[in-house]
Structure 1
């Protein structure tokens, strides 16, 4: 990113996901959750709302959001849809705004009251003309589509039953060390295999959680970041590519799009898979972890299920993955909390789950919009 203003994440904030999950409230407001997270992020950065001149909201509307958040006159404002792929997109938009000089301090704010309002993430997933035909066959949610992709993956690469268990168990082990995680109880392989299918071959523990929460990120120039309270986390590279159709499926498991994004983020940052101290992977469902690891050259194609052993992906392993517990155990904040964890790992702020000597973190989202960033401590 030479020749452009360099950008850093300087503030992160998130609500207590576990406490919110334990106390469901039908009156809980997604805007209030976003506002709570924003306050925490601003305090973390040592900034005040008056210094924010760019605002990006997700899952909450930007117009009412600007009023609730107390940022009524930003120079740049926009709202993004509530899908998980938008967490990476929001960061990329913020980077572009700061690099171009359209804004100097951008707040990205996400609010979700899905558990309290009984969101199911199914039944009305798409407005595509083909949705009625899909629904006849039970294809009413991203989970059904990912299950179908994983069935094909199993067929093509000879994957045995239970191959996803280490991924779900690793998430739970990391969440056990995370005081705000929703699911902190031990998960054994026996429990995993005994759990019911949701959309075969995906089981209960292969699915993300439905819960409430808010997350906020504050970005500014690296130059300004060096004068703030916390260690800056520079965005060394970010890239995206669409893999779009009427369905939440990709016949190559988002591999081609991921390879394109990987080539660019590795080339721009100067870092590759061998350099990453931790990897935060968007895991709406556990097979997405396998697709991501292969698409971004961590594992050979068709072999991520063998490569991702419990020892390798553990917090103390060669490639620590989803160190806060991921979407199946920490919370389903649709990628947003993964960014918070990456920043805190680089700062050395994650307590018992801290990865030793963590300075480079990789965010990956393999979805109909593939996004990825490389984050480096300064």
Structure 2
């Protein structure tokens, strides 16, 4: 074994099978506050203005002032310096992370590591996106994959779903259960973009085709908005305004072997490695009450469930049938805000905020009864999962 590998860890750096050593960071870092804006089309402001609105809401939620923040991570804003100036924050730790949605979970892990190592005590993480009002194109002619005719993320996911259907016999109709469940949740969420606009699986099947076999209701929503989280140590969070939500476990695995051409199955090996999150959190899959899954497109939900072991590869279609993901009818209520498909595409940031709200019993009509632990899953080439837990 290479000398630089820690005992009990394999070549990926993840905990090796059969090793049950406690994760050093288990339950040491907590969410102390969260804030979100409205989602929609707001040309009168920009990503900085939206980010300030979200962070002010998070500060109020935690009972803190800007001067209490000594760490800052921003995402989808041009400059952390400009944002810190506007908010009156002079941190000792600051960072701007990359724009793709996978960096919501990456940003969270970086903040947790900074707190654990003493680089900062209280970190604000702020995502601000005005992509709708400036007509940002997610994809387009300058895509790195355009030589293959796939000029948008939707084309890549359509290809992956085509392979899944061919290999396992799943169908486009299986995705209707996902879209219907998440829209049902949005109709319970007064802040969701699609609140009051229910759909059926028949609506899903009849929707306008976008990129075969995916249709309109398989795609996420593009809106302006912002999300802010405030993280600190669990000990400090217990003295703040709201009940803390603990980061119990986190796992990540990257895969870039397809850098020159898109792969159509990258979710399987990378997500499989992230099952170490259960050992790190010290709880099992059956201890989870609800899920937050990065649903940029509806097939990603099935990829996530299969990759994290909720069902075997190829069985995702069977797993989601009969409302398994829907609050009130299924064992695994998922994306209870409506998710990217029906709440708004805040690139994972809003989904993680919803997990925190569930664990604080803040969700009203969409509340999961007795939610003690929530799991977030992101099926990308930086695959990741995290488990959040109510503080005992």
Q: TM-score, normalised by structure 1?
A: 0.93
> What root-mean-square deviation, in Å, do the aligned CA atoms of Structure 1 and Structure 2 show?
1.5
**Distance in 2 of aligned mates of 1:124 and 1:229:** 48
Per the alignment, residue 42 of structure 1 pairs with 59
2:342 is equivalent to residue 329 of structure 1: yes
User: Within 5 Å, which residues of 2 pair with 1:1-378?
Assistant: 3-4=24-25, 6-17=28-39, 21=40, 24-60=41-77, 61-71=79-89, 73-123=90-140, 126=143, 128=144, 131-134=145-148, 137=149, 139-184=150-195, 185-244=197-256, 245-246=258-259, 249-262=262-275, 264-316=276-328, 317-378=330-391
Q: Matched residue of 1:308: which SS? A: helix
**Distance in 1 of aligned mates of 2:58 and 2:209:** 38
Checking the alignment, whether the CA contact within 8 Å between 2:177 and 2:323 is kept in structure 1 is: no
For structure 2, which runs of at least 5 residues remain unmatched after alignment?
1-21
Aligned residue pairs, count: 365
Checking the alignment, whether the CA contact within 8 Å between 2:42 and 2:224 is kept in structure 1 is: no
- Tell me the alpha carbon deviations over residues 288-347 of structure 1, each in whole angstroms, 9 at most, x when there is no partner: 000000000111111011111243211122111111101010000000001110000001
Checking the alignment, whether the CA contact within 8 Å between 1:278 and 1:319 is kept in structure 2 is: yes
- Tell me the alpha carbon deviations over residues 1-21 of structure 1, each in whole angstroms, 9 at most, x when there is no partner: 65558100110000122xxx2
**Distance in 2 of aligned mates of 1:132 and 1:190:** 33
Q: Matched residue of 2:74: which SS? A: strand
Q: Matched residue of 2:248: which SS? A: strand
Q: TM-score, normalised by structure 2?
A: 0.90
For structure 1, which runs of at least 5 residues remain unmatched after alignment?
none
Q: Matched residue of 1:34: which SS? A: helix
Q: Matched residue of 1:309: which SS? A: helix
Q: 1:247 to 1:144 in 2, by over 3 A?
A: farther
**Distance in 1 of aligned mates of 2:94 and 2:138:** 27
Q: 1:26 to 1:193 in 2, by over 3 A?
A: same
**Distance in 2 of aligned mates of 1:366 and 1:336:** 15
Q: Matched residue of 1:252: which SS? A: coil
